[in-house]
Structure 1
Amino acid sequence: METNHLFSLQVGNNRVWDYVRDNYVHRLLQSEGDGKVVSYERTSPVSDTKEELVQGEEKLTALQLEYTHLLSSQLESQRQYFENKITEAQAEAWHEAEESKEAVKKLSEEMQEIKQELAFVTREKVTLDKKINQLNSKLAKVSKDLETEQELNLSMRQGKQEWVSKVVKLESVVKQKDQKIAELESQVSDVMAHLEALSTVNCNPELQGGQVYIPNENSKPQGARRKHRK
C-alpha cells in the first residue's frame, strides 16, 4: 500500500487483487488463438476458497477454450470468405484481361483492315483524279469544238439564206429566160415555115409572084394564102 496502488496483478494466472474490497475483482485471460486479452470479473465479493478457485479455473479454462474455438472458427470463416473473394476477383480480373486482349486484337485487325481500305481508296482517288483531269480536258475540247460548230452552223444558216435568196432570183431569171426561149422558138418556127414556103414558091414557077402570109401566134393556122398574078 506504500505505492498507493488499489490493485495488484498476480503473476502466472493474471488475477487482479482489490486492496479496498480485499478480494479478487476480475481476471485477465489471453486467447491462445490471436493473443487478445479478455477480462473476467467475479460477481461475488466473498473470498475464493480452494474448491471455488479450482472450479473457477476449470470454468475459465473451458470459457477460454470455447472462446478460442469460436474465434478460430470465425477467423477460418473470414479467411475462406476473403480467399473466395480474392479468387473471384482474380477470376474476374483474368476474364476482363482476356476480354481486353480479345478487344485489342479485334481493334488491331480492324485498324489493319481500315489501313488497307484507306490505301485502296487513296489509289482509287489518284486514278479517279487522273480520269477526271482527262475528262475535263476532253470536255474543254468538246466545248470548244461545239462552239466552233455553232459558229459554223450560224454562218451556214446565214449563207443558206443568202443562197436561197439567190436561187429564188435565179429561178425567176430562168423562168423569164424560158419564156423568152419559148417566144424565140415560136418565132423561129414561124421563120422556118416562112422560109419553107419561100423555098416551095421558088421551086414552083406557078406560085411565083404570089404572097405568103404568116399567121399570128394566137390565131389558128390557116395555111399560106397564095395570090396569082392577073
Structure 2
Amino acid sequence: MKSPRRERYMDTWIFTHGDSDGICSGAIALAANPNAHVFFTHPYGLEGDLGEAKKTDKIIICDIAISESHLSRLLRLFSEFADNGDLIYIDHHPLPEGLSKEDLPGKVIHSLESSASELVYTLYQSKIDPLHARTAIMGAIGDYLDETPTIQRLLKRWDKRTLYFESGLLIQGIEGQKRNHELKRSIVANLANNLPPSFDRRLVELAIQTLI
C-alpha cells in the first residue's frame, strides 16, 4: 500500500504513441488524469523516455508495443515504477514471444482485438464524460479496429458520417507531423476537453494541405 505522502507528491505521466490511436488514447487518459504530463514515444524509445519520470510517479503507457530487444531492461523499469509509484500499461500489439501479460509488472490492460483507444476508454469510462466515447471511436477508426462489439455499441449514439469525417481530419492532419510533438500535445489537450479535430483550425489546414 502506497503511503499518503508518496501519493501527494506523485506526478502522473502519459507515455503514448504519436499516431491517431495513440493520440486518442492519450487524450482519454488525460481526461481521466487532468494534470498529467503527456510524452510521445515509440517502442524503441520507451526505455530512454521513461527516464523523464521519477520512480515514485504514476506512469500510464498507451499504444506502445514492448520492444523485444529492450525487454529485460523494460521489465526492470516497469518493476521499479510499479513497486515505488504506479504503472498502468495499455496496449493491443503482440507481446514478445514467450511473454504473457501476467509477466508484466503493474496493471496491464492488453488485447489484440481492440484499439488502444477502446481499451483506455473501457478502463476510465466511469471517471470521464460519456462524450469521450467519440474519441475512443476515432482512435479505433484510425487503427481499423472499429468493428469490435464495444465500438459498434458506442457508434449507435453518434452520427457515423460525422465521426468518420473527424477521424479522417485527425489522420490527415498529423500526416507528415511525426515529430511535431507540440502540435500533437495540443490535439490531445483539445480532445481531452471534448473538442473534436474540426475545432482546430491549424489541424484542418494541415489536413487540407495533404490533399492538395
Q: TM-score, normalised by structure 2?
A: 0.15
Say which structure is richer in helix: 1
TM-score by length of 1: 0.15
Structure with larger Rg: 1
Higher relative contact order (CA 8 A, sep 6+): 2
